[in-house]
């Protein structure tokens, strides 16, 4: 297992770190420029929490602005290798705080952001000053990216995408554009679905080969760029466009050192002649001391790498232990799963708070408590239950201690023509709990 400590060039990691740092800086600067922070963190009254992390910290707007400015600066520090360890650690902690701030704001791109920051922190924590780096650090980032892309492809192959249900439902986004209106046919949609899956598979296969890696990388960047343009320009979903961007950035770890060196040589030659002895990096042998033997250290590193990647592989697949429609209907197994844009989910309804002592009741509109992006995920039964518990505490604090809360929520999946009840309207939500590993009788089945 000592081959994982074999030295290799760190130029691909430097390239990835530079582009990722710039992306991180621009992404957070955009939140400041468009003044999105009040709508995200100040105006909403209700915030959903994760099952394990049951906390929420309300901060003034000035603190949120300061934290986002810090993220912008940290991104630049990561890109230009200025206090990169400190910048990566601060960016990871702040990003983790906002990731846990509200479960309704969960997105796969923010989760992947955290994983990339964690990977950079591990990689840079003991980076050498010369141009060499242990091979396991490069394998860490490559494996992280490849597993995410592979899981996303599996989801494409095992959902309603293959039946065109989801794709046809999304074709409405093309109606307003005269040229793209030509794509609004079943035949074109079917071709687009299968072509995307095949191209995904070809790119991922080529990336792990030696001779076809460059072709696979170019095809991958072209595919993800097309998805970015589609999601950003025509659907106007900025958050969803970030996932293709991260997929492009992650693929940069597959750039070979000799490609970078060849490009640098070409650029240098266009300006001035370069010496012939500067084309290959000089990798120095390590002579440092180990607290444990090199063989044991290599074994431990390999074991940690395998455990981490196994979690990244198995966690997204946990949803397949339940039925497909049940998973999409309840939205219970979709987070941490790389299930980007694989369904269309619509819902409407309200919650009814009834005072059992006086017999009075009030209908509560979800949109009055969480704007602007929260209501999309408020359609999940877990979030509805958390909202009911929030209302229970609110009314108890106002002196209404004997209340019942009922949900009248209707939803539909993909190209369904009718809405179906999602929550049993006869069950008092103050008396139920959410079970993660067994069925919940207060959630009505899809079929």
Share of the chain above pLDDT 90, in %: 32
Structural domain contains residue 34:
yes
pLDDT digits (tens, 9 = 90+) for 310-365: 888 887 877 666 544 566 777 766 777 777 666 677 788 899 999 998 888 899 88
Q: ∠ CA(228), CA(231), CA(234), 5° rounding?
A: 115
pLDDT of residue 395: 92
Q: Indicate whether 307 and 369 sit together in one domain.
A: no
Pair 294, 396 in one domain: no
Give the Cα separation of 29 and 75 in Å (integer): 10
Query: Number of helices and strands (H, E) in the chain?
Result: 15, 6
Q: Which residue range forms the structural domain that includes residue 389?
A: 344-431
Q: What pLDDT does 416 receive?
A: 77
Quote the CA–CA distance of 112 and 116 in Å, as a whole number. Answer: 6
Same structural domain, 197 and 253: yes
- So what's the pLDDT on residue 447? 74
pLDDT at residue number 244: 87
Count of Cβ atoms closer than 10 Å to residue 403 Cβ? 20
Q: Are residues 205 and 88 in the same domain?
A: yes
232 and 375 belong to one structural domain? no
- What's the token pair of residue 87? 């910048």
Peptide bond before residue 295 is cis, with ω within 30 degrees of 0: no
**Residues above pLDDT 70, as percent of the chain:** 75
State how far the Cα of 49 lies from the Cα of 69, in Å rounded to an integer.
Answer: 25
Q: Does the pLDDT value for residue 368 go beyond 70?
A: yes
CB 418 within 8 A of CB 412: yes
In a domain, 437, yes or no: no
pTM score: 0.83
Q: Are residues 83 and 178 in the same domain?
A: yes
Residues 297 and 354 in one domain: no
Q: Is residue 233 part of a domain?
A: yes
For residue 324, being part of any structural domain is answered with no
**More confident of the two residues 386 and 49:** 386
| Burial letters 196-208, b for 16+ CB under 10 A, else e | bbebbebbbebbe
* Close Cβ partners of 393 (under 8 Å, ≥ 6 residues apart): none
Residue 422 reports pLDDT greater than 70: yes
pLDDT at 443 exceeding the cut of 80: yes
How confident is the model over 412-432, as a mean pLDDT?
A: 88
pLDDT reported for residue 231:
64
Q: Which pLDDT score, from 0 to 100, does residue 91 have? A: 96
Distances (CA, A) of 112 to 149, 337, 377: 11, 11, 19
d(CA 399, CA 236): 45
Determine, yes or no, domain membership for 278: no
Q: Coil, helix or strand for 288? A: coil
In the predicted structure, residue 367 carries a pLDDT above the cut 80: no
Mean model confidence pLDDT for the chain: 79
pLDDT above 70: residue 66:
yes
| pLDDT over threshold 70, residue 253 | yes
Higher pLDDT, 303 or 178: 303
91-150 pLDDT, tens digit per residue, is 999 999 998 888 877 888 888 999 999 999 888 876 655 567 888 888 888 988 999 888
- pLDDT above 90 for 243: no
Percentages helix, strand, coil for the chain (3-state, rounded to 5) are 60, 10, 30
User: Predicted confidence band at 276 (pLDDT cuts at 50, 70, 90)?
Assistant: very low
Q: Note the pLDDT of residue 295.
A: 61
Residues 361 and 418 grouped into a single domain: yes
Highest mean pLDDT among 68-82, 144-158, 238-252, 308-322: 68-82
Q: Is residue 446 part of a domain?
A: no
Residue 116: C-alpha distances to residues 76, 120, 141, 336, 430 (Å) = 15, 6, 8, 14, 40
Residues 221-231, mean pLDDT to the nearest whole number: 82
**Average pLDDT, integer, range 246-272:** 83
Place 160 in a pLDDT band, splitting at 50, 70 and 90.
Answer: low
In a domain, 360, yes or no: yes
Q: Residue 280: its pLDDT value, please?
A: 47
Answer yes or no: is 321 within a domain: no
Q: Is the domain of 312 the same as that of 348?
A: no
| Start-to-end CA span in the chain (Å) | 51
pLDDT surpassing 50 at residue 299:
yes
423 shares its domain with 302: no
Query: And the tokens for 325?
Result: 């429609």
* Residues 303, 414 within the same domain: no
Query: Which of the four pLDDT bands, split at 50, 70 and 90, describes residue 441?
Result: confident
Q: How far is CA 10 from CA 18, 19, 85, 126, in A?
A: 12, 15, 16, 13
Tally of structural domains, the chain: 2
Residue 195 structure tokens: 């072509």
Length of the chain: 447
pLDDT > 90? residue 380: no
- Average pLDDT estimate for 202-231: 89
Residues 251 and 146 both lie in one domain? yes
In angstroms, the CA 150 to CA 207 distance is 12
């Amino acid at each position: 297992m000592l081959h994982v400590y074999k030295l290799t060039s760190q130029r691909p990691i430097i390239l990835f770190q530079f582009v990722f740092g710039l992306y991180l800086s621009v992404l957070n600067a955009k939140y400041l420029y468009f003044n999105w922070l009040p709508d995200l963190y100040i105006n909403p009254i209700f915030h959903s929490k994760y099952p394990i992390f049951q906390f929420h910290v309300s901060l003034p707007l000035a603190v949120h602005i300061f934290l986002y400015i810090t993220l912008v600066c940290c991104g630049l520090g990561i890109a230009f290798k200025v206090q990169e360890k400190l910048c990566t650690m601060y960016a990871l902690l702040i990003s983790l705080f906002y990731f846990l701030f509200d479960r309704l704001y969960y997105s796969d791109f923010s989760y992947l952001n955290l994983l990339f920051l964690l990977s950079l922190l591990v990689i840079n924590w003991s980076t050498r000053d010369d141009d060499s780096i242990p091979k396991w650090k490069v394998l860490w980032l490559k494996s992280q990216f490849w597993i995410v892309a592979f899981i996303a492809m599996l989801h494409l192959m095992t959902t309603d995408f293959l039946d065109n249900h989801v794709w046809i439902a999304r074709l409405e986004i093309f109606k307003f554009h005269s040229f793209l209106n030509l794509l609004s046919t079943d035949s074109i949609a079917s071709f687009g679905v299968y072509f995307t899956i095949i191209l995904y598979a070809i790119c991922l296969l080529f990336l792990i080969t030696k001779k076809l890696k460059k072709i696979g990388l170019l095809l991958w960047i072209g595919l993800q760029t097309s998805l970015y343009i589609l999601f950003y320009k025509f659907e106007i979903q900025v958050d969803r466009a970030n996932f293709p961007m991260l997929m492009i950035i992650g693929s940069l770890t597959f750039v070979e050192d000799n490609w970078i060196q060849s490009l640098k040589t070409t650029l240098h030659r266009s300006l001035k002649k370069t010496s012939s002895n500067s084309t290959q990096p000089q990798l120095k042998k390590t002579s440092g001391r180990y607290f444990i033997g090199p063989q044991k250290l290599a074994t431990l590193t390999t074991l940690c790498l395998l455990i981490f990647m196994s979690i990244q592989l198995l966690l997204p697949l946990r949803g397949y232990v339940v039925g497909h429609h049940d998973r999409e209907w309840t939205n219970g197994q979709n987070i941490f799963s790389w299930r980007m844009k694989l369904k269309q989910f619509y819902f409407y309804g309200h919650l009814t708070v009834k005072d059992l002592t006086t017999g009075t009741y009030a209908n509560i509109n979800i949109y009055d408590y969480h704007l602007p992006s929260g209501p999309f995920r408020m359609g999940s039964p877990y979030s509805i239950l958390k909202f009911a518990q929030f209302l229970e505490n609110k009314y108890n604090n106002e002196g209404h201690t004997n209340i019942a809360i009922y949900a009248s929520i209707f939803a539909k999946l993909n190209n369904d023509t009718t809405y179906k009840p999602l929550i049993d309207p006869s069950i008092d939500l103050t008396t139920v709990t959410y079970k993660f590993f067994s069925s919940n009788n207060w959630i009505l089945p899809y079929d």
